[in-house]
């Protein structure tokens, strides 16, 4: 299994599987060589037949004999009350709807924590304790009955391959954007309706399978995945693709089979102008103007929901203009849709001519914003040499007022919405810190409580100096 987990963590559950009435499936006898099945879910270009797929050996144990076994896999943690309550509700739900029981799969049962392959085992739920799998490189849990993925998957920093094909997933957590080493993401044959915008943070992603879902549109942030080579969105109710997909220089395979794509674009020249509130919000976001600290929360939420124009990158909110073009690739006509902050062009000729012009005024400012009432101290004309003492006092008062007004504002970057990892389960924080190593080192305490680091260094320095003075005396 490896030495990545402690003894307490090894007794935590990885997930839950369904079992037949009166019987329980176990994977304790699985061999490491038969656990990972890279050909279990074939890609469209693969020539491997289905009989080459290795089926893992599942040991079925009677419920009567299971009760006589030692309590090796039932080490409960009393601090996880929330997880136990969710487990009870999960058991009742499956007993009522499917007439099946569920059982746990523990970390101690997994032959390997580096490459995990649990295909066709009837997984219905993953435990939030997967946050301990820091060393896992490949996770293959396709052909199961999962309906969701816990947000704690964002802690699996070294994950390179994730395969959750052929499940019942309806959504993907936005914490998937923390998997910066992810290279392959397979989400085929689920019930997904959308993809989180945080997918644009996967800078090493090369393969993305989204086929056979219910996705109606792709997020524009997909254009930020510069390393994307294979993209499959076939068999989805997608009518257009975002224009940002044209920025993927290394995209070689794009599958759009059986998608109701538009054959031509018909855009209205008349559009609704943005409201005064949106115009003001656009200016604030475009120039990155700090806002007052006591700004109401609804306005902060409004500013945090700014979207980027497909052409100039400028912000927009509710009001935007649609433009489109159709390109040909691999004998397919692909409709690309632009969402613009204003009607930058109406014809294809105008669009091409704008490519050779500087960015419009609606583009974000390259230089940081400088308030006209808050100039730099060195540039303040009131700080020039003056013979009158009263003038110098007035200038100091002005500086104090300006500094106080600065302290009442916050930068716009502090309200931007970004995915955040959930707090670790109680069992992970308590078992990992309260190990059998004895009293923790003071420097370990500093890492846990950064706020006390400065005080500790100062007191430690004072203590050392006092000891040296006593030795000298």
Number of domains in the chain: 1
The 10s digit of each residue's pLDDT in 307-316 is 999 999 999 9
Residue 233 in domain: no
Q: Which long-range contacts (CB under 8 A, 24 or more apart) does 357-363 make?
A: 359/312, 360/312, 360/314, 362/282, 362/286, 362/309, 362/312, 362/314, 363/286, 363/312, 363/313, 363/314
pLDDT, residue 83, reads 52
Helix (H, G, I), strand (E, B) or coil at 233: coil
Q: Can you tell me the mean pLDDT for 194-208?
A: 96
pLDDT, residue 76, reads 45
Task: Kindly tell me if the per-residue pLDDT of 57 is higher than 60.
Answer: no
Higher-pLDDT residue of 276 and 465 is 276
Residue 278 in domain: yes
Element (H, E) at 59: strand 59-62
Nearest to 201 by CA among 174, 230, 172, 169: 174
How many whole angstroms separate alpha carbon 122 and alpha carbon 395?
74
pLDDT, residue 37, reads 45
Higher-pLDDT residue of 166 and 74 is 166
Residue 135 in domain: no
| Cβ–Cβ < 8 Å for 94, 18 | yes
Helix (H, G, I), strand (E, B) or coil at 191: coil
Q: Can you tell me the mean pLDDT for 173-192?
A: 97
Q: How confident is the model at residue 42 (pLDDT cuts 50, 70, 90)?
A: low
Residue 407 in domain: yes
Task: Kindly tell me if the per-residue pLDDT of 376 is higher than 70.
Answer: no
How many whole angstroms separate alpha carbon 42 and alpha carbon 188?
11
Q: Can you tell me the mean pLDDT for 25-37?
A: 45
Residue 146 in domain: no
pLDDT, residue 134, reads 92
pLDDT, residue 69, reads 40
Higher-pLDDT residue of 356 and 458 is 356
Task: Kindly tell me if the per-residue pLDDT of 287 is higher than 70.
Answer: yes
Q: Can you tell me the mean pLDDT for 186-206?
A: 96
Task: Kindly tell me if the per-residue pLDDT of 143 is higher than 80.
Answer: yes
In which domain, by residue range, is 332 found?
A: 271-383+403-422
Residue 349 burial by Cβ neighbours in a 10 Å radius (0-12, 13-18, 19+): exposed
Q: How confident is the model at residue 459 (pLDDT cuts 50, 70, 90)?
A: very low
| Cβ–Cβ < 8 Å for 316, 280 | no
Higher-pLDDT residue of 425 and 238 is 238
Percent share of the chain, pLDDT over 90: 51
Task: Kindly tell me if the per-residue pLDDT of 342 is higher than 70.
Answer: yes
Q: How confident is the model at residue 422 (pLDDT cuts 50, 70, 90)?
A: confident
pLDDT, residue 434, reads 42
pLDDT, residue 414, reads 86
How many whole angstroms separate alpha carbon 330 and alpha carbon 358?
33
Q: Can you tell me the mean pLDDT for 130-138?
A: 94
Residue 346 in domain: yes
Start-to-end C-alpha separation, the chain: 59
Task: Kindly tell me if the per-residue pLDDT of 268 is higher than 90.
Answer: no
Q: How confident is the model at residue 358 (pLDDT cuts 50, 70, 90)?
A: very high
Task: Kindly tell me if the per-residue pLDDT of 58 is higher than 50.
Answer: no
Q: How confident is the model at residue 406 (pLDDT cuts 50, 70, 90)?
A: low
How many whole angstroms separate alpha carbon 307 and alpha carbon 166?
32
pLDDT, residue 397, reads 64
Higher-pLDDT residue of 392 and 20 is 392
Q: Can you tell me the mean pLDDT for 321-348?
A: 91
pLDDT, residue 424, reads 81
pLDDT, residue 417, reads 79
Task: Kindly tell me if the per-residue pLDDT of 46 is higher than 70.
Answer: no
| Cβ–Cβ < 8 Å for 256, 232 | no
pLDDT, residue 38, reads 45
pLDDT, residue 41, reads 52
Q: Can you tell me the mean pLDDT for 389-397?
A: 63
pLDDT, residue 84, reads 52
pLDDT, residue 105, reads 92
Higher-pLDDT residue of 358 and 386 is 358
Torsion over CA: 307, 313, 319, 324 (sign): negative
* Pairing assessment for the beta strands 13-19 and 101-106 based on DSSP bridges: antiparallel
Nearest to 229 by CA among 248, 256, 215, 247: 248
Q: How confident is the model at residue 334 (pLDDT cuts 50, 70, 90)?
A: very high
Residue 21 in domain: no
**For the chain, what is the total number of helices (H) and then of strands (E)?**
10, 19
pLDDT, residue 387, reads 47
pLDDT, residue 259, reads 95
Task: Kindly tell me if the per-residue pLDDT of 162 is higher than 50.
Answer: yes
Residue 201 in domain: no
How many whole angstroms separate alpha carbon 264 and alpha carbon 352?
19
Higher-pLDDT residue of 382 and 113 is 113
Residue 115 is encoded by which pair of tokens?
A: 């490459």
Task: Kindly tell me if the per-residue pLDDT of 393 is higher than 60.
Answer: yes
């Amino acid at each position: 299994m490896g030495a990545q987990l402690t003894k307490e963590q090894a007794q935590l559950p990885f997930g839950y599987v369904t079992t037949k009435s009166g019987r329980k499936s176990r994977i304790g006898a699985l061999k490491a060589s038969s656990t990972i099945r890279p050909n279990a879910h074939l890609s469209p270009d693969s020539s491997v037949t289905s009989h080459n797929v290795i089926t893992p050996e599942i040991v079925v144990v009677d419920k009567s004999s299971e009760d006589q076994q030692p309590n090796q896999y039932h080490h409960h943690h009393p601090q996880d009350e929330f997880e136990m309550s969710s487990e009870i509700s999960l058991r009742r739900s499956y007993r009522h709807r499917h007439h099946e029981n569920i059982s746990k799969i523990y970390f101690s049962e997994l032959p390997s924590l580096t490459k995990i392959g649990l295909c066709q085992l009837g997984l219905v739920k993953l435990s939030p304790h997967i946050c301990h799998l820091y060393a896992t490189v490949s996770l293959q849990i396709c052909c199961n009955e999962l309906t969701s993925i816990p947000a704690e998957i964002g802690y699996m920093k070294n994950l390179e391959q994730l395969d959750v094909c052929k499940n019942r997933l309806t959504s993907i957590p936005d914490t998937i954007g923390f998997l910066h080493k992810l290279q392959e993401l397979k989400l085929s044959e689920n019930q997904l309706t959308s993809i989180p915008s945080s997918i644009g943070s996967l800078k090493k992603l090369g393969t993305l399978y989204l086929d056979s879902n219910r996705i109606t549109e792709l997020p524009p942030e997909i254009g930020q995945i510069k390393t994307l080579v294979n993209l499959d969105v076939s068999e989805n109710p997608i009518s257009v693709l975002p224009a940002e997909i044209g920025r993927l220089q290394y995209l070689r395979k794009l599958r759009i089979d059986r998608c109701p794509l538009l054959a031509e674009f018909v855009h209205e020249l008349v559009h609704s102008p943005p409201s005064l509130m949106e115009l003001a919000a656009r200016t604030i976001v475009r120039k990155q103007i700090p806002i007052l600290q006591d700004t109401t929360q609804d306005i902060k939420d409004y500013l945090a929901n700014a979207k980027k124009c497909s052409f100039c990158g400028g912000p927009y909110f509710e009001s935007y203009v649609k433009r489109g073009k159709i390109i040909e690739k691999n004998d397919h006509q692909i409709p690309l849709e632009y969402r613009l902050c204003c009607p930058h062009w109406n014809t294809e000729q105008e669009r091409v001519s704008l490519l050779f012009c500087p960015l419009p005024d609606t583009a974000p400012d390259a230089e940081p914003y400088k308030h006209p009432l808050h100039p730099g101290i060195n540039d303040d004309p009131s700080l020039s040499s003056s013979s009158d003492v009263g003038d110098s006092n007035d200038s100091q008062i002005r500086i104090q007022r300006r500094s106080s007004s600065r302290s009442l504002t916050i930068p716009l970057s502090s309200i931007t919405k970004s995915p955040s990892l959930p707090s670790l389960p109680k069992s992970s924080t308590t078992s990992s810190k309260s190990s059998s190593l004895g009293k923790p080192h003071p420097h370990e305490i500093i890492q846990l409580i950064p706020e006390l680091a400065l005080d500790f260094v100062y007191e430690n320095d004072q203590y050392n100096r006092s000891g040296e003075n006593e030795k000298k005396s």
